[in-house]
């Protein structure tokens, strides 16, 4: 019961923090993760590249962590997509967080990249 209460309270805090209900946040995160992985594994696919930028406003920042915490890079959303479209060595991508809490309304997406085994 206590665990349930904690989960419910955590979920609503998260919803307040992100401006979305938790299930919607998780669904958005999973959908984005699937789309990014598809783009990363289909180098040069212009259709996928044209589809994705419109999902988020210009000015959206992407924070990319490369397998260790010392390698975080910051990129604009559309620049990041073009790098994914261009790269030859696909990586596995996990969407960690989509954050809408910045006071200036700027959206941040936290990603982790892993080498493909």
Partner 1 sequence: MIKAYPILGLLLLLSSYARAQDRSTQQKLEAIVRSTDREIELLKVYISDIADKTIPEPVRTRKINRVLKKFDPTATIEVTSLIDRRPRQLPAQRYFYRLRDNLTYANIAIEWIQDQPLTGARFSDLGNGVYELIGRYIQVFKGLDERGETIYGDITIKKVTVKVSERIDQLTKRQYQEIKFMKIEAEATLPLDQLDELLPQSDSN
Task: Examine residue 42 and tell whether it contacts partner 1 (CB under 8 A).
Answer: no
> In whole angstroms, what is the distance from residue 86 CA to residue 39 CA?
10
Smallest separation (angstroms) from partner 1 to the CB of 27: 25
Of the listed pieces 4-12, 17-25, 27-35, 74-82, which binds partner 1 according to CB under 8 A? 74-82
Task: Examine residue 106 and tell whether it contacts partner 1 (CB under 8 A).
Answer: yes
Q: Cα 108 to chain center, whole Å?
A: 8
Smallest separation (angstroms) from partner 1 to the CB of 82: 5
Task: Examine residue 66 and tell whether it contacts partner 1 (CB under 8 A).
Answer: yes
Smallest separation (angstroms) from partner 1 to the CB of 7: 28
Nearest-CA neighbor of 42 among 80, 86, 77? 86
Burial of 3 (0-12, 13-18, 19+ CB in 10 A): exposed
């Amino acid at each position: 019961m206590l665990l349930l209460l904690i989960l419910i309270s955590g979920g609503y805090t998260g919803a307040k923090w992100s401006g979305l209900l938790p299930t919607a946040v998780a669904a958005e995160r999973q959908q984005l993760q699937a789309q990014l992985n598809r783009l990363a594994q289909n180098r040069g696919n212009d259709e996928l590249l044209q589809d994705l930028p419109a999902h988020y406003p210009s000015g959206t920042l992407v924070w990319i962590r490369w397998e260790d915490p010392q390698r975080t890079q910051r990129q604009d959303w559309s620049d990041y997509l073009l790098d994914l479209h261009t790269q030859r060595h696909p990586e596995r991508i996990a969407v960690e967080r989509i954050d809408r809490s910045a006071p200036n309304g700027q959206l941040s997406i936290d990603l982790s990249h892993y080498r493909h085994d």
